[in-house]
Structure 1
């Protein structure tokens, strides 16, 4: 879709959402503000009771696994005599996720469960009144879904004071990793990578010696701004820590730092360190290290799977089994290793304990109770294992009580998209010792520094139109800027010229709400 058409669509959607905002307050009043707690009513039909058949339409991010239909068939078989649910699972590529899911919700398309996230448009969709408050549904039908998540998880992941979506996560701090071709590093006699400078040194060595291998790979689509090469640096840098704002989830243009409760704006004053990341990305691109077609690539995993990439950014700790096995199959002798620069020192990492992913029930759903029953069903161990890892013996093997080993690549790990929870989740038995330590370390909330904004929820309603217009502007320039594809000064000046006014209004409103929140603490 061309930029003009995309802008036009976004503006139409913005108008539709602005109208919906007027109705949002009434929608919010229909839900209870109480914390979710087990109730006496059962989350599933009584034994031997079979409900009327229902088909749940579930919208998820990413690409459909090859054996998805096998998993659905088995899940439906297990539910046949109780929940009696059929699953219509629709996958939307990450590159199209923000636009397509926004259109679905704004148009009132019938959907029963949908993935959303603060880095996507969670706050905007809540403010527009598109999502059902979940407190009552959780109390009546979601006792197991509540039990596998801590109260802290619910308390920190409310929106405008209510639970509008089920938080998905297995730690309190998201992992950020560089996936590295270990075999190539060892081929050149380089020691294990400990610093970012080591990483870049390795990339240049690959450039010199491996003509068919892309040294560096990041993401270049508008919905993937936080994993562009330069912007990814903010996840693993300290003194200060730059944290994304609650208003522009993937952007560094508005940001927090130093845990001081202030909203900073790069248009007001450019941070020298952030600018250095932008300039370095430009140099790496011009030197031929960053993938030359990075802005056109939609399926990054397939590029990594080819084995023709030396270093790629990845939003988790460790090397996922699907990538490791695919690379080894496509390039005999190839091996991936995980490199992260996130510190494992108590108090070093600031977090607001918010999860990055959520599962919501849209207002338009005609099957809200059954959708919650299904989410509750997924919180039972054998069902979680099925949907998270596939069919035992075909797609995975259990290792001990809390680990697994993936078999093949026909059903890749993706519980983060719909059922993730810290109680049921298994760790990859193939993870290296350091990765396992990172997971264990970040499951303990006491190891992290609580953000001054923990519990804060931004209401985008007053600046909904500005957010939509600003995002449309930023989508044109951000990835080209942080992936080094075009001249930094020229791109920045264009972004500032077109987006500064919108960003300032958003900043002022966000700061106003933060100040009100902090005044009540």
Structure 2
């Protein structure tokens, strides 16, 4: 909804940190899930259709278009047909699944939003332009829709997610029910490490990977030691970008300093730029890292990638391995501590587009993704008996698993309703609960920057960032030469004005919390 929003609310989330950890640690089910899965599923299935007095028979047929970030799948049409049978019965709707591959996402979604293409549901995230697109009027404000058609969401989703993803006190996206903590690290081919006799326990910092990659390059010359798609060492910097990772201005989650700065001013960021440059020059990083559109998950499918830098959680390596068809061959190493910021509460969401011709039906569908076990597993993993076999809640791959393996369950609905693969820990969701405990909250937890007053500068900065950032962060260009050019271009485009406005809003937020 296009409207002028006031300065960020001074009363946002005064008790969010307390609520976050109390709710995550005190429940008898995995953190973020609410109540018994079966009862939630049954309640959601009936409530969705009947919210507002609408039974499926009373609803006109409608075709939903779901756009999310991920690789298109060979058996997509087959899964759509299976979903349509259930959705027709539940909410008299059918669905067009329209994934956009990782490398093409930004350009295609920006064009989609600018051209006002009719879409019902769009993936969004704090790191993926959420605040900017709200300012553009791309996403519908969800208060009334959530209250009327989202009872399954509000009853199953930890309140911290909805509170922590608001802008000016309003929700424009429904967060995925997933982990609440963040940690960064490396995912690697355990089978290759074992074959080469590599002791991965020696890797405590990113610099420690140098000795590992040297051996991989010598012994496996056809294998890429570190695959990047647009840079990834940023996962190790532990910055809080304060509500939108695409808009400059960050604080460190590592200390209590609340001064908003360009990340290019931080020593840790410069350290990783230099490391990326060193690794690139040694041939450890793929030469097309700054331009490739192939996601790291898809790159593993080729069999010639040794490692990637990733945001980690329990079972992340297993998730990537299963999606790539190399189950059991990946492992992970944490290289940062655990933190919590708005990046996590708003780290994966589904928004209802303001171009939707039936936002009510869109919200009904999102509600089903949070409550209906059959629907969410069908969308995430495909058809039982075709793409996997099922014993209890444990999936075993079939020879057709690769025909439908989006690998983006963290984007879509309620992860605590998902089955687990036979190569994953059967107690995966209990591990998520333990992972959330003890995470350090960022001073910016709950703050989302409102970019309305600096929209022109944000647009100009986006063009500068597109020109320089990927090349720098992948080590593809000379850091000493290009970084000063980049900083000068950012300043010319108005970065100091944006940071000053972000600092002003953040100071008001902190003052309201009594900090």
What is the TM-score of this pair, normalised by structure 2?
0.82
Question: Could you tell me how far 1:433 is from its partner in structure 2?
Answer: 9.2
1:208 pairs with 2:218 = yes
Distance 1:183 1:395 in 2: 25
Provide the C-alpha distance between the structure 2 equivalents of 1:464 and 1:48, rounded to a whole number of angstroms.
42
Match of 2:363, SS state, is: helix
1:249 aligns with 2:245: yes
Cα distance change, pair 469–288 in 1 and its aligned pair in 2 (3 A): same
- Assess if the C-alpha contact under 8 Å between 1:57 and 1:90 holds in 2: yes
Structure 1 contact 324–336 (Cα < 8 Å) conserved = no
- State the alpha-carbon separation in 1 of the partners of residues 247 and 474 from structure 2: 14
Instruction: Tell me if 1:491 matches 2:491.
Output: no
Question: Are the structure 2 counterparts of residues 272 and 81 from structure 1 closer, same or farther at C-alpha, using a change threshold of 3 Å?
Answer: closer
User: 5+ unaligned residues in a row in structure 2: which ranges?
Assistant: 9-42
**1:507 alignment partner, SS class:** helix
Task: Give the one of 172, 181, 190 matched to 1:182.
Answer: 190
**Change over 3 Å in CA distance of 1:307–1:252 after alignment to 2:** farther
* Equivalent-residue separation in structure 2 for 1:321 and 1:409 (angstroms): 13
The CA deviation string for residues 165-192 of structure 1, in whole angstroms up to 9 with x for no partner, is 1111411024544221222211222223
Q: Secondary structure at the match of 2:113?
A: helix
Equivalenced residues, count: 464
Q: What do the CA deviations read for 1:284-329 (whole angstroms, capped 9, x no partner)?
A: 1111111122123211333321111111223443324563574649
Deviation at 1:141, TM superposition (A): 1.3
Alignment of 1:70-149 (within 5 A): 70-149=78-157
Structure 1-normalised TM-score?
0.81
Mark the CA change 1:280 to 1:432 in structure 2 (over 3 Å): closer, same or farther.
Answer: farther
8 Å CA contact 2:185–2:235 kept in 1: the answer is: no
Shift of 1:92: 1.7
**1:168-179 to 2 correspondences below 5 Å:** 168-174=176-182, 176-179=184-187
Indicate yes or no: 2:75 matched with 1:67.
Answer: yes
Q: Distance in 2 between matches of 1:248 and 1:83?
A: 34
**Residue of structure 1 aligned with 2:378, choices 381, 386, 390:** 386
Q: Aligned residue for 2:18?
A: none
Q: Does the alignment pair 1:339 with 2:333?
A: yes
Query: Contact 1:24 / 1:128 at 8 angstroms: preserved in 2?
Result: no
Spell out, residue by residue over 1:211-230, the C-alpha distance to the aligned partner (whole angstroms, 9 max, x if none): 2111111112xxxxxxx143
Residue 307 (structure 2) pairs with residue 311 (structure 1): yes
User: Could you tell me whether the CA contact under 8 Å between 2:56 and 2:91 is conserved in 1?
Assistant: no
- Shift of residue 89, structure 1, vs aligned partner: 2.2
Distance in 2 of aligned mates of 1:47 and 1:231: 48
Partner in structure 1 of residue 28 of structure 2: none
Q: Tell me: CA distance 1:155–1:321, structure 2 relative to 1, closer, same or farther (3 Å).
A: closer
| Aligned position for 1:166 | 174
For the pair 1:441 / 2:444, whether they are aligned, the reply is no
CA distance in 2 between partners of 1:233 and 1:48 (Å): 48
Task: Report the counterpart of residue 279 of structure 2 in structure 1.
Answer: 284
